Chain A
């Protein structure tokens, strides 16, 4: 639903039509002669009301039919009453479903919320008026009824209704052919807009698709792999800060810590992206590359990222820097790219733009991913880190569970940025916070 429908004050907003249709399905199922609700004559004071049911019956039926809990059945039943599909016989002003013997009845479809659009009321009134004028007094019984009902309800617009009816009758005699032509023109104009849909369809046909079984296995694997890392499913150690009011979990997993947790180091082995997106992981990888004398690859990749996501104004400046440091012949940290990509990049540098380094960056990224990354995972550096990594002890439940721990605040990132902190300073802070918690 859009903001336009949210702001509509009169009439029924368009977005609710879908849910009314669904509600009507429920109501129709309830009225099914075989599987629906058992209705009986209910006593209301001294009168006997036919075709009524109790609140208790409604809830039992909903629970049975949709296999839901009592709480949910009560919730759904309340909505049905609130929107007028079922109304209470006792206390008709209180639109609430009661779980007891209070009697309820189904509302007739004519009064369903979805049909009460002033627009269609008007249209219907005009239609009946036209019919009345055309064949004087030949409206059917129920039509006569509705006509007078409408006359009462929208009395203030009745002049308009009669006038419109007369106009439309007169125009329809002359406008038949014109209507057809206008419709044709509208259709043609419609196709002007929708031509691109055909082109998109053609493009889509040419796309490479992967077999479903492979894709779906991928989702299973991903969920399995990350299950232990999902706090909502498996909990987290030492404790979920939101439950225990203890921020230890966050301090242990801060950006830079002396010793990382085991789960965190394990995640670096899930994918190259995981390793690079973790600050510590990236630092470790850089250390490893330095040992292998290929650190310039990661530096180049980082510099290219800065261009892609940086300010427009500094693009040329950064591109020049990269050229000087990484691409120029004899550069201090020359990166090894294939000649075709190098040529293309050098040509592009003549007119630098945000994506000029993309091909080269992609080449280096996949080089690291296919070559350096798997070797890193097998290296001693990584294995030592994994062995050193801590597995936090689960915090024992406090003896007095009702005593709330004091929740420590943390420095806002906005503040940290404004006080140009050195890396050492930040590590010290993290260490201190760890000691305080």
Chain B
């Protein structure tokens, strides 16, 4: 295959066999490597098994993908909007902002609700983490961290701790103490260590385990007490931007979405990739499970949100409109799963009717892109965090209009 007489770009010791020779510059996963031609040939051939060639591999992959599509189509006997024709159209929603929280000095990147339905934690680009009682607007705890760009934060199920992570490649857990004199930042404990930024984190059903996703393309499960890595999940070929835990009775799976346009479902016990969905046309910024756990939604830079059915193993709805041009960065369902709230980079929040596939409402108000949208645990309100340094609470004024 390799003609030894061509002119190579550089000359030097090969990174594999160390013999000085003309080197070929190739890229593997965007890492440049310099091997001599012999090593490159050997490396390439190792991947191929007997009787395989590049052409045959390509052909096999294409035909498998086609077969998979056919199998998926066979059971697709009806579409979601057809089935949804028999349910009533949604009444008019009148969702208005009830509170605007100004307290962060810079872009708010992430927020999470506490299980007590009124507290939440928010993190921002200037390295501050604030725990608020959203009902009274009191700031209960404020932590200043040395690292900027805290891209993700999560509230522990017990309400006694928060986790946060970002550009420092770590995810740390901070126990909350009511003692005003205590410096919470000093009690910070590093749990997760990645080789690139941490994009998402969540506690599993208890305070003792933490699940993280990272820009290094992997997700990982950690034991909080010891900081030990319990399981790692490999399969994404680019940064993983978001993850969500399944609300299932056996509680063993989670979904992750990344810059490789794929959404993967993982088994937490074995670390295996159970299902994979690849229908977006750009980075997937956020994934969230449907309340029953049988489906999930994703938000992407291609300006669409999509709904995937796990049992039918396919995408069942696409939420898009020609007038929506900017990417969606975050999604969340209302308590019943009928409404999908999606925050976009054009500063708006679109409310979609999940079953009928139409847009129910559009919310204006933020002055910069919406980074995170979360419905409270009892479904009474919607909180949105934005790069305009504020958090807004909105809810539907249904009872007032009755």
Interface residues of A (CB under 8 A from B): 1-4, 15, 18-19, 22-23, 25-26, 62, 65-66, 68-69, 71-73, 75-76, 79, 174-175, 177-178, 181-182, 184-198, 200-202, 204-205, 207, 209-220, 222-227, 229-236, 239-243, 247, 249-250, 253, 271-273, 305, 308-313, 354-355, 358, 362, 365, 394, 397, 407-410, 412-418
Contacts and interface: CB of A to CB of B under 8 A. Distances in A.
A226 B335 contact: yes
Contact of A242 (B77, B119, B321, B380): B380
A contact patch SS: helix
Given A209-B313, A216-B84, A229-B336, 9 more contacts: A2-B199, A75-B364, A76-B323, A185-B40, A188-B47, A231-B396, A232-B380, A236-B399, A309-B209
Given A186-B27, A195-B47, A76 B325 contact: yes
A365 B252 CA distance: 15
Contacts of A232: 93, 95, 334-335, 339, 375, 379-382, 395-396, 398
B50 to A, nearest CB: 14
Contacts of A218: 292, 294, 311
B399 A243 contact: yes
16 contacts: A3-B197, A18-B301, A18-B302, A18-B303, A184-B54, A193-B28, A193-B29, A209-B312, A212-B77, A216-B78, A220-B84, A222-B291, A226-B335, A232-B334, A242-B99, A312-B223
B223 A243 contact: no
A231 B40 CA distance: 62
Contact of B6 (A178, A215, A415): A178
A194 B58 CA distance: 10
Nearest to B61: A198
Interface string B309-341: 101111010000111011100000011111100
B294 A215 contact: yes
Interface of B: 1-3, 6-8, 24-29, 40-41, 43-48, 54, 57-58, 60-61, 64-65, 67-68, 71-72, 75-80, 83-84, 86-87, 90, 93, 95, 98-99, 114-119, 133, 135-138, 140, 149, 151, 158-161, 167, 175-178, 197, 199, 204-206, 208-209, 215, 223-226, 228, 230, 235, 237-239, 241, 248-251, 259, 269, 273, 275-276, 281-283, 285, 290-292, 294-295, 301-303, 309, 311-314, 316, 321-323, 325-327, 334-339, 345-346, 348, 354-355, 362, 364, 375, 378-382, 393, 395-400, 402
A315 to B, nearest CB: 10
Contacts of B375: 232
Contacts of A190: 28
A412 B43 contact: no
A234 B336 CA distance: 10
Residue of B151, B249, B294 ringed by the most chain A CB atoms within 10 A: B249
Contacts of A273: 248-249
Given A185-B26, A213-B77, A418 B364 contact: no
B323 A68 contact: yes
A187 B116 contact: no
B208 A311 contact: yes
Given A18-B327, A226-B335, A230-B379, A201 B64 contact: yes
Given A202-B64, A240-B395, A413-B158, A19 B178 contact: no
A66 B321 contact: yes
Contacts of A66: 321-323
